[in-house]
Chains A and B, each alone.
Chain A
C-alpha cells in the first residue's frame, strides 16, 4: 500500500507532555509477545514447584517455542514486613526470579538459589537472560490468601482496588549482574522485538504468583481451602513500581527510542492514509473504544496531576462518543479526519489514546513494524568526522533549534540535575542550587548541551571538518554524536528541557511503560509511578490465538 500521509513531526510527537500521555497499542511489547506465543502454539509447563507451608521454596515455569525454551526460575521468601520496600535500595524481597535460557538442571537451580535471592549482590551467568524481583501487595495478598484458606473467594472490590498480588520492583536484562548480553539472543526471531525476555519473565511471574497464593492458602486452610476463581485470577495482573531509574533509559538509548516512536508513528500514518473504513473495521473500532472506556473507568489515581488528566480524559470520551455518532467514520479518509478533529478538540491523553486505538482493526497493515522496534544499528554510535562544522551546526539546529531561545542561565531552566547516588547506585534527580550534586551530573540534558555546542561551533570556520573541532572540544563529543544520530533518526530526542524546574519525570517513565504495554498509570509522586501489567491477559495454559491480542480491552465493567 502507499503511505501518502506524512508522519507527525518530532516537534509534535516528541513533546514530553505528549510522550507522558502515551497509551499501549498493537505494537506494545507485551502484546507482541502474547500474539507470537499464541500464533506459534508455545507450550508451558511447571516442572518444579517446591514451596513449603511458609511459602518458601523454588519453582520453575517453562515456555517452549518452536526454536527455544525459556524457564522462569522463581524463589519465594518469607520477608519480614519491615524489609519490604520497592526502592532500588532494598536488599530483600518476597520473591526473586531469573529467566534461564533452556531448562535448568538441579545443579543450575542450586547455583541460582545462592545468587538470585540477593539480586545486585549476587552473580548470574550467560545461561541467564534476566534477573528480577517482586513484593507482595500487603493488603491484597493477605485478603486473598485468607479468603481462599477459609473456603471463600476474595472480595471483588478489594481485587479491583489493587489489581495485583505482587509488583515487580526491577527487571534487569541485557548483561546486568553477569547475565547474558543482548547479543546472545538478538538474532532469535522469538525475542527480536525489544524487551521480549523481560516481558516473558513477567508473563510467567504472574502464573507463579497465582499458584503461590493458592498453595499458601492450601497450607493454611487444609481441606477447607479453595482455588481462585479464574474470573478473579484473570483480573489480577502484575504490578510494577517504577522509579527514576527508567527515565534515563530513553535518553541513553536514542536509536532504540526512535525506533519505538517511529514504528508507532508509521503505523498511525498508514492507517490515516486509508481512503475509507469498512463496516467491520468501524464496528471493531467502536467495540474496542467501548472496552477502553470500561478500562478507563477502573483507572484511579491519587496524584493531582493524573487526577486532572483523567478528568479531562473522561470529558473527552464523551466528545468522542458524539463524534462517532456524527460525523462518524463513514466519510473519506475517516481516520485522518478523526485524528485532525482530535488534535483540535481533545487533550493529549485522549489524542494519544485514539492514535493507539485506530491501529487495532489493522493488524495486517501494521504488525510487521513490531520487529523494527529493536536497535540493530551499532554503527550509529560512530561519529562521521568528515561532516563540516557548518553542517553539524545545522543538524543541531534541526533537532534542538526549539531550545536555542531558552535562557540557559535562568535558574528555572537548569534547576535540576540527574545524578547517581553512591547508595546502591540509585538514579536520582536533585535540585542543582540546593544540593551538592552538580559535579556528579549525568549527561541527561541534551537540549542544554546542544545549545552550548551550537554556540561553540558558531565561533569556528564552518567549512572545517567536525573532527578538527572535536579534537579541541571533547566536551561536545557526546552532543555531536547525538546530533548525527538525530539527523538519521528523527524521533531520537525528547523535544523538551529535561532539567527544568517544572519537568515531570513521570512523563519519561510513562512513555516507556506504555510501550511495554502497561495500563492504569498511577503516579505516586512526580518521579515514581505504579502500573499494572498483564491485567486480563490469559494465563499461559489458556493462551490461544483467539485471546492473545485484545486482552488490554476488558469487556466487563469493574467496580
Chain B
C-alpha cells in the first residue's frame, strides 16, 4: 500500500516512543525514517528491525561514551542516539565510529550534518559507501545490518543522488511491526475516560 510521507513520519515517531525511546529521539526517528523513504530506502523496515533489538531500555550501553573521536559504545551503537549526536556535532564530526546496528539509519543524520555545514559527507563501512549533500543520497554497495567500523569524511560534489520519492510503500510486515510498537503509547479505553476524557456531557446529536 502507498503511504503519505506524513504517515510514515508519524508512525515511526509513535513506534519509537512505543519502543521506549524518549520523545525527542522519537521525533528524530520520525524525520529520519521519512528522509530514508524519500531516498527510496525502506525506512520502516530498517526502523522496525532496530526497535526489535530493544536498545531503548539500556540506551546508555548503545550510545557513544564521549564525543571525543572515535565514537564507541559499550555495546553496538544505536543509530538513533548516535545519529542525533552526529547531527548535533555537525561542525565537529568524528572521523571514525565503532560497531553500529542498522547503520543505514545514520544516513539521515549525516545528511543533516551536511546540510548544516554545506559540505557533502561520505559514510563508509564494510562493503558500502554512501554520499550525501543533505538533500540527495548515493549509495554504492549494500549497507549491512551491523558493522564493526565506519568512517565519516567530507567529500566532493560530484556524486549524483537518486530521484526523490513523494510516497512510501513499506514492507507490510515491517509496517505492522511499527504499528504494534506504536500501539503501546495508547491508553486502554475505560468507561470513565470514554465519558470524560474528550469532554462529553451535553448531547451532540441535536
Complex contacts, A476 vs chain B, CB 8 Å: 24
Residues of A within 8 A of B4 (CB): 126, 175-176, 178-181
Beta-carbon contact of B185 and A440 below 8 Å:
yes
Whether the Cβ atoms of B198 and A426 lie closer than 8 Å is: yes
Q: Which residues of A contact B63 (CB under 8 A)?
A: 471
- For A471, the chain B residues whose CB sits under 8 A away are 63-64, 67, 81, 85, 88
B57 proximal to A (CB < 8 A): no
Residues of A within 8 A of B127 (CB): none
The answer to whether B198 touches A137, judged by C-beta atoms less than 8 angstroms apart, is no
A387 to chain B, nearest CB (A): 10
Task: Please determine whether B87 and A385 come into contact, CB atoms closer than 8 angstroms.
Answer: yes
Question: Nearest chain A CB to B36's CB is how many angstroms away?
Answer: 15
Closest to B116 in A: A382
* B24 & A467 in contact (Cβ 8 Å cutoff): no
Residues of A within 8 A of B7 (CB): 175-176, 178
Binary per-residue interface labels of chain A (33-53) against chain B in the complex, 1 for a CB within 8 Å, 0 otherwise? 000000000000000000000
* Contact B167–A126 (Cβ < 8 Å): yes
- A423 vs B195: C-alpha distance in the bound complex, in angstroms? 12
Minimum distance in angstroms from A162 CB to a CB of chain B: 9
Contact B2 A428 (CB under 8 A): no
Q: Chain B residues with Cβ under 8 A from A178's Cβ?
A: 1-4, 7
Query: Given that A84-B205, A184-B166, A474-B24 are known contacts, is A435 also in contact with B198, CB under 8 Å in the complex?
Result: no
Residue pair B197, A474 in contact (C-beta under 8 Å) = no
Least CB distance, A415 to chain B, in whole angstroms: 13
**Once the chains are docked, how many angstroms separate the CA of A428 from the CA of B187?**
10
CB distance from A334 to the nearest CB of B (A): 42
* Option from B87, B89, B205 in Cβ contact (under 8 Å) with A382: B87
> Is there a chain B Cβ closer than 8 Å to A478's Cβ?
yes
- Give residues of chain B (61-107) contacting chain A, Cβ–Cβ below 8 Å: 63-64, 67, 81, 84-85, 87-92
Query: Is A481 a contact partner of B24 (Cβ separation < 8 A)?
Result: yes
Query: A385-B89, A428-B193 given as contacts; is B5 within 8 A of A175 (CB)?
Result: yes
Judge whether A66 is part of the interface by a CB distance below 8 angstroms.
no
Number of residues on chain B facing chain A (CB within 8 A): 53
Q: With a CB–CB cut-off of 8 A, which chain A residues contact B64? A: 471
**Out of B22, B185, B199, which one reaches A420, CB within 8 Å?**
B185
A87 within 8 A of B: yes
At the interface, yes or no: B23 with Cβ under 8 Å from chain A? Answer: yes
* B22 & A474 in contact (Cβ 8 Å cutoff): yes
Considering only residues 386-442 of chain A, those with a C-beta below 8 Å from chain B are 386, 419-423, 425-430, 435-437, 440
B 167-202 to A, binary, CB cutoff 8 A, 1 in contact else 0: 100000000000000010111111011101111111
A125 on interface, CB distance cutoff 8 Å: yes
For window 467-495 of chain A, which residues contact chain B by CB distance below 8 Å?
Answer: 467-468, 470-471, 474-481
**Which interface class (under 10, 10 to 19, 20 to 34, 35 or more) fits A?**
35 or more
- Contacting B190 at CB < 8 Å: which of A381, A435, A526? A435
CA distance A480 to B71 in the complex (A): 23
Residues of B within 8 Å of A477, CB to CB, are: 22-25, 27-28, 84
A478 touches B24 (CB 8 A): yes
State A241–B87 Cα separation when bound (angstroms): 42
Residue B126 interfacial (CB < 8 Å): no
Q: Does A443 contact B (CB under 8 A)?
A: yes
CA distance A526 to B201 in the complex (A): 10
Q: Supply 13 further A-B pairs (C-beta < 8 A) apart from A426-B198, A524-B202, A526-B199.
A: A84-B205, A174-B6, A243-B198, A244-B197, A244-B199, A379-B115, A385-B88, A385-B90, A420-B186, A435-B193, A471-B67, A478-B27, A527-B199
| Residue contacts A-B, CB under 8 angstroms, 28 given | A81-B205, A84-B205, A85-B204, A174-B6, A175-B5, A176-B4, A176-B7, A181-B6, A384-B116, A420-B187, A422-B183, A422-B188, A423-B189, A426-B197, A428-B187, A429-B197, A429-B199, A430-B197, A440-B186, A443-B23, A470-B85, A471-B64, A474-B22, A477-B23, A481-B27, A525-B200, A528-B198, A528-B199
The 3 A-B pairs with the shortest beta carbon distances in the complex, nearest first, are A477-B24, A385-B88, A175-B6
User: Which of B's residues lie within 8 Å of A, judged by CB?
Assistant: 1-7, 21-25, 27-28, 31, 59, 63-64, 67, 81, 84-85, 87-92, 112, 115-116, 166-167, 183, 185-190, 192-194, 196-202, 204-206
